[in-house]
């Protein structure tokens, strides 16, 4: 058994579980307890309100789309940063973390300033009749922004340690670059890409600070689910806010679990592939 080979299983798992329990699970238990004040019937009732549904749809739909965009853009950027040398590479490498460092509200204001009809980017788009700020497209832009570093930063270490001999072997066998990429490299990256997707998705679903400035926040159109939570809080309706929070959390959790399973399956598939 492998477990016997390496030490520290009990210690590392025990510590991880205790830490997670205290910092994450206990507080979330408090949240669930607060939400239970509403009862299951109340929760179902809450989720059947068209406005709530529309907001959840925007949050989850937008986040999925944003994560997909980030997987493509993130793979491109990570690849270029790891494989190629060009002037300013380190600077570009550094700005990848920017969405983490910038407070979300600042990011929201800055993005709105760029994409509003009088902004640097917005005025060009406005000439073509395209509106980003104050529409669901603005929500998407903010979600791409906050999720982007996740994909790049998950990919980078893996790309750096990717076995070159496989590539070289394929190359000596006469495979073309894009064939190597599609048949050899990409399958090896799939589990990592899935991780990046999951993280970008999770982050974007709950995002509030950067989205509210650019969204327009019109109910049924550009209103995100976290905004509804804030509205409940403003009514001093802690139970309603907690219930919506728990519902979002449950959806996200199921999504993350599915992605983790998909990832294991893809890894096994990659390992078993000839």
Partner 1 sequence: MSRRSAGWPRMLGRGLLTLAAIAFLAVFLLLPLATVFVEAFRQGAGAFLAAVGQDEARSAIRLTVLVAAIAVPLNLVFGIAAAWAMARFEFRGKALLGAFIDLPFSVSPVVSGLVYVLLFGAQGWFGPWLEAHGVSIVFAVPGLVLATMFITLPFVARELIPLMQAQGNGEEEAVRVLGANGWQMFFRVTLPNIRWALLYGVLLCNARAMGEFGAVSVVSGHIRGLTTTIPLEVEMRYNEYDYVGAFAVASLLALLALVTLAIKIALEWRYGDELAAHAPGGR
Partner 2 sequence: MKLLPAVLTLLAALATTAVAAKNVTLLNASYDPTRELYRDTNAAFAAQWKAQHGDTVTIRMSHGGSGKQARAVADGLPADVVTLALARDIDVLAERGLLPRNWQQRLPDNSAPYTSTIVFLVRKGNPKKILDWSDLVRPGVQVITPNPKTSGGARWNFLAAWGYALRQPGGNEARAKAFVHALYRHVPVLDTGARGATNTFVQRGIGDVLLAWENEAMLARQEMGGSDVEIVVPSMSILAEPSVAVVDRNVDKHGTRAVAEAYLKFLYTPQGQAIAAKHHYRPRSPQVMAKFASRFPKVQLFTLKEVFGDWNQVNARFFADGAIFDQIGPGN
Is residue 124 involved in binding partner 2 (CB under 8 A)? no
* 245 is an interface residue for partner 1 by CB under 8 A: yes
Shortest approach of partner 1 to residue 129 CB, angstroms? 20
* List 261, 268, 269, 273, residue binding partner 1 (CB under 8 A): 261
Q: State residue 51 phi and psi, 5-degree precision.
A: -65, -40
Torsion of CA 69, 70, 73, 77, to 10 degrees: 180
Region of 142-150, 159-167, 190-198, 225-233 interacting with partner 2 (CB under 8 A): 225-233
Q: Which does 9 bind (CB under 5 to 8 A by kind): partner 1, partner 2, none?
A: partner 1
Count Cβ atoms below 10 Å from residue 175 Cβ, excluding itself: 16
198/257 Cα distance (integer angstroms) = 9
Residue 222 contacts partner 1 per CB under 8 A: no
Does residue 265 touch partner 1 according to CB under 8 A? no
Residue recorded with tokens 């048949």: 183
Q: How far apart are CA 74 and CA 70, in angstroms?
A: 5
Residue closest to 107 by CA, chosen among 61, 78, 143 = 143
Instruction: Please report how close the Cβ of residue 211 comes to partner 1 at its closest, in angstroms.
Output: 10
Total residues at the site for partner 1 (CB under 8 A)?
109
Contacts 24+ apart (CB under 8 A), 92-96: 96/148, 96/149, 96/152, 96/153
Strands (E), the chain: none
Q: Which residue has the tokens 């309603």?
A: 240
CB of 134: closest distance to partner 2 in angstroms?
5
Binders in 76-135 for partner 1, by CB under 8 A: 76-77, 79-84, 86, 88, 90, 92, 94-107, 109-111, 113-114, 120-121
The single residue listed with the structure tokens 């709530």 is 52
Which of partner 1, partner 2, none does residue 136 bind (CB under 5 to 8 Å by kind)?
Answer: none
Compute the least distance from the CB of residue 206 to partner 2, in Å: 16
Residues that bind partner 2 (CB under 8 A): 14-15, 18-19, 22, 51, 109, 112-113, 116-119, 133-134, 212-213, 216-221, 223, 227, 230-237, 240
């Amino acid at each position: 058994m492998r477990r016997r080979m390496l030490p520290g299983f009990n210690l590392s798992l025990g510590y991880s579980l205790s830490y997670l329990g205290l910092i994450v699970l206990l507080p979330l238990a408090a949240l669930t307890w607060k939400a239970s004040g509403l009862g299951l019937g109340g929760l179902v009732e809450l989720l059947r309100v068209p406005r709530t549904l529309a907001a959840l749809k925007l949050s989850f739909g937008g986040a999925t789309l944003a994560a997909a965009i980030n997987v493509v853009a993130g793979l491109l950027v990570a690849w270029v940063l790891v494989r190629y040398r060009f002037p300013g590479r380190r600077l570009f490498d550094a700005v990848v973390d920017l969405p983490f460092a910038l407070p979300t509200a600042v990011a929201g204001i800055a993005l709105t300033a760029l994409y509003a009809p009088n902004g640097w980017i917005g005025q060009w788009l406005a000439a073509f009749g395209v509106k980003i700020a104050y529409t669901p497209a603005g929500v998407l832009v903010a979600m791409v922004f906050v999720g982007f570093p996740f994909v790049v930063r998950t990919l980078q270490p893996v790309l750096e340690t990717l076995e070159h001999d496989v590539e070289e072997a394929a190359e000596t066998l006469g495979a073309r670059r894009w064939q190597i990429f599609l048949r050899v490299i990409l399958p090896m990256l799939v589990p990592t890409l899935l991780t990046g997707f999951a993280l970008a998705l999770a982050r974007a679903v709950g995002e509030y600070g950067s989205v509210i400035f650019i969204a327009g926040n019109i109910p049924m159109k550009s209103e995100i689910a976290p905004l509804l939570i804030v509205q409940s809080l403003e009514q001093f309706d802690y139970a309603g806010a907690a219930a919506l929070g728990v519902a979002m959390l449950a959806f996200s959790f199921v999504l993350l679990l599915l992605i983790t399973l998909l990832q294991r399956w893809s890894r096994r598939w990659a390992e078993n592939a000839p």
